[in-house]
Structure 1
Amino acid sequence: MIHEVAILTIDPAKADAFEAAVAQAKPYFEAAEGMKSFGLRRSIETPGRYHLVIEWTSVEAHMVDFRESENFQRWRELAGPFFTGPVEMEHVLTVI
């Protein structure tokens, strides 16, 4: 299993609407083959910064199966308008 960690930056004044959009998009992730868990975490120290943490069975499940799907496009349509900068994303493995 791997985790996708995406750092999303939005206008803090739009936090409620952004969180509602992500909640609306969550089923698109849950429908994806290989998706195991989904979480959105808001930074305490940096208003407007979120960490989207998704567990996948493999990098391919994320980067091929999901990213090339219509559900990814729906996610971006809902959440993308809130982004104030590029999304930083990486895949990580739990080692301990």
Structure 2
Amino acid sequence: MILETAEIMVKAGMEEQFEAGVREAVPLFKRARGCTGMRLQRGIENPRAYRLLVQWDTLEDHNVHFRGSEDFQAWRRLVGDCFDGAPNVTHLSTVLEGF
């Protein structure tokens, strides 16, 4: 499993619009090849800071299949205007699970 983590800063005053856009995008992720779950977290110290966590079977499921799809374009149309700068996206693999 691959965990995509996207650090997203949202423009001031657009937090509710961003969250609504992510909610509307859930079906896009649900039907994406290899996507097994997603979660959106919001910063406590900085409520404009979000972290989108998406689980993928493989890196290619995200970087090739999803990013090359019309659903990715729809995702960006839903939330892109809310971004205050480009998201910082990284991919992680699990090396240890404790409990």
Same fold by TM-score greater than 0.5 = yes
Q: Which runs of 4+ in 1 moved over 2 A?
A: none
Report the counterpart of residue 47 of structure 1 in structure 2.
47
> How far apart are 1:38 and its partner, in Å?
0.6
Aligned identity (percent) is 41
Structure 1 residue runs without a partner (length 5+): none
Q: Within the alignment, does 1:71 sit opposite 2:71 as a pair? A: yes
Q: Is the 8 A contact 1:8 1:87 kept in 2?
A: yes
Once the two structures are superposed, what CA deviation does each residue of 1:51-89 show, in whole Å capped at 9, x if it has no partner?
Answer: 000000010000011000000000000010000111100
Q: Return the letter of the residue paired with 1:50.
A: Y
Unaligned runs of 5+ in 2: none
| Aligned position for 2:2 | 2
1:24 corresponds to = 24
The TM-score normalised by the length of structure 2 is: 0.93
Count of residue pairs the alignment pairs up:
96
Task: Provide the rounded CA distance (Å) in 2 between the counterparts of 1:51 and 1:12.
Answer: 16
* Helix, strand or coil at the partner of 2:90: strand
Please list the CA deviations of residues 1-55 of structure 1 after superposition, one character each: whole Å capped at 9, or x if unmatched.
Answer: 0100000111242211110011001111111010001100001111201000000
